[in-house]
Every structure is written in structure tokens, then in C-alpha cells.
Chains A and B, each alone.
Chain A
Amino acid sequence: MYTHEYSGRGDSVPLEVLLVEDSPGDVRLTQEAFHAANISVHLNVVTDGVEAMAFLRHQGAFADAPRPDLTLLDLNMPRMDGRQTLALIKNDDSLKTIPVVILTTSDAEGDIAKSYELHANCYLCKPVQLNAFESLARSINDFWLTKATLPQIQ
């Protein structure tokens, strides 16, 4: 009961969240929103799919990277986009149990359907309004990091 111990006890072991996002502005907003929502969230940031896979596979500069409790994945990014990254994660037996939440400005039905087909755990549209974005970060924290039971780190 990984998350429940952490969220219930309020100790200093962080909840590791990986944010895969190429926009510095969105990274900053997400950091601030999570900081406000839950002080024990440790937000790790990478800026495209290539870096995300290196982080998850502990390669190169990410040799000591933690396994994320939750990954927030943008769809449209340079080098390797979110769709390819999602497909790689969900086809990899050592990574597939990590919950992946798509967090994107795209509200195209095609992107939504394709993401669920590729086994995204859920799909969220980034709101443009700042307070709606903060409220969404709070919802992600409340649902995924408090209510949901996450797989234990292997």
C-alpha cells in the first residue's frame, strides 16, 4: 500500500512523479500546482520521449533515477512524441505497470481514442485557464496519489 502509507503518514519519503513535457511554461505551472497540492510530491521533469525512456530505464545521466509512482505524459513533443513513448512503456514488461496519465492540450477524439488503445491509464486535457489547471493538478493528486492504489516499486 505504497501511496496510502505516504499520504497517510505525512513523512518525508516523496511520491515520485515524472513529468514529460517540452514547454518550460507548462513545466513551471505544473511544478507550482503540485507544490500547492501536495508537498510530498517530488516532480521529476524530462522534456521529450527520448529522455523519458532514458529516465525510466536508468540510462546515462538517469542511472539513479527513481521509478515513478505516476507519469504525466504530454503528446506533442520533439524527437519522440507521447504516443511513441506510451507505446514503449506499455509494451515493456518492466515498465508497463507504471500508471501513465496523458496530459495534453489536444482534445482531438483521435488522440483520446488512440491513447486509450495504447493503454494510457487516463487522458486529461490541459486547461488554458490558470485556476482550472491548478484544480486539475489537485484532482490528479487527490485521485492518483491519495485514492488509487499504485503498484509497489519493484
Chain B
Amino acid sequence: MYAHDYTDGGDDMPLEVLLVEDSPGDVRLTQEAFRAANSSVRLHVAADGIEALAFLRREGVYKDAPRPDLTLLDLNMPRMDGREVLAQIKKDDKLKTIPIAILTTSESEADIARSYELHANCYLCKPVQLNAFENLVKSINDFWLTKARLPQAQ
């Protein structure tokens, strides 16, 4: 039980989280919120879908990248957006078991429905208020990285 070994055992093996996010401000806030929520989370950042897929497929500079225990995916990004990244991950037999949480400012019903259709594991709206955002990150940590059983890294 991958996640449980880490959280219960209290050892220093990190939980690998990939954040796919183009806004430097949001990246900074997410880093700070995870640091406050769980010091064993190691947050990796990709700034768009092209980088995210290179990270997941260990291409180029990402050849030593870990397999993420959880991926947080923004929808609206340059070059390759979150919908396309999500579709590619969930069609790829080697990557499809990685849990993908959509984390976006979009509250559009179409984006919500489309994301679940493409097999996003869940959809979360980024709150504007800072403390609500910190709470959300804490919930992501409590649920996904503590309670949920995650597939073992292959």
C-alpha cells in the first residue's frame, strides 16, 4: 500500500505529486499549501501539457522523473491544454492508472462533464480566496494521499 507506507510509516520516502500549471503564482501557492499540509509531498511542476507528457514518459530532461502518485492538472494552458493531456494519459495503458485531479478556475458545466467523460479521477475548482485554497490542498492531501489507496508505482 504505497501511500500508506509513507504516511503511516513516517519515513522519508516522498509522495510524488505532479502539478501541471502555467501560472507561476498558482504554482507558488500550491507549493506553499502542500508544504504546510504534508512535508513528505514532493511537488514537481510542469508548465503545460507538452512538459507534463514528457515528464510522465520520462523523455529528455525528465529521463529520471518519478512516476507521480497523483497528478494535479490545470485545464487552460498554452501549447497543449489539460483536456488533451487528460485524454492522452487515460488512453495510455502505461499511464492510465495515475490518478488525475483536475484543478482549475473553470466552473463551466461543459468542462466538468467533459473531464469526467475523459476519466478524470475528480474535478476541483480553484477557490479565489487564499485560505479556501489552502483548505482545498489540505483536503487533497487528506483524501488522496492519506485515505485513498493508490496504484503502486510500476
| A positions within 8 Å CB-CB of B | 1, 90, 96-99, 107, 109, 112-113, 116-117, 119, 121-125, 136, 139, 142-144, 147-152
- Complex CA gap A112/B99 in Å reads 12
Known: A107-B1, A116-B151. Is A1-B97 also a contact (CB below 8 A)?
no
Which size bracket describes the interface of B in this complex?
20 to 34
**Complex contact A139–B112 (CB within 8 A):** no
- Please indicate the chain A residues that have their CB under 8 angstroms from the CB of B42 in the complex: none
Whole-angstrom distance from the CB of A142 to the nearest CB of chain B? 7
Q: Which of B116, B136, B139, B152 contacts A113 (CB 8 A)?
A: B152
**Complex contact B112–A149 (CB within 8 A):** yes
- Complex CA gap A34/B85 in Å reads 35
23 A-B contact pairs sorted by A residue (CB < 8 Å) = A90-B119, A97-B117, A107-B1, A107-B149, A112-B149, A116-B99, A119-B119, A121-B122, A122-B121, A122-B143, A122-B148, A125-B1, A125-B149, A139-B143, A142-B143, A143-B122, A143-B143, A144-B122, A147-B139, A148-B122, A149-B125, A150-B123, A151-B109
Q: Looking across the interface, which residue of chain B has its beta carbon closest to that of A125? A: B149
A-contact bits for B133-154, CB 8 A (1 contact / 0 none): 0001001001110011111100
Known: A109-B152, A139-B142. Is A121-B113 also a contact (CB below 8 A)?
no
Check B57 for interface membership: any CB of A closer than 8 A.
Answer: no
- Please indicate the chain B residues that have their CB under 8 angstroms from the CB of A150 in the complex: 112, 123
Q: Looking across the interface, which residue of chain B has its beta carbon closest to that of A143? A: B143
Q: Looking across the interface, which residue of chain B has its beta carbon closest to that of A144? A: B122
Q: Looking across the interface, which residue of chain B has its beta carbon closest to that of A147? A: B139
Q: Which of A1, A96, A125, A143 has the most CB of B within 10 A?
A: A143
Q: Looking across the interface, which residue of chain A has its beta carbon closest to that of B146? A: A139
- Please indicate the chain B residues that have their CB under 8 angstroms from the CB of A125 in the complex: 1, 149
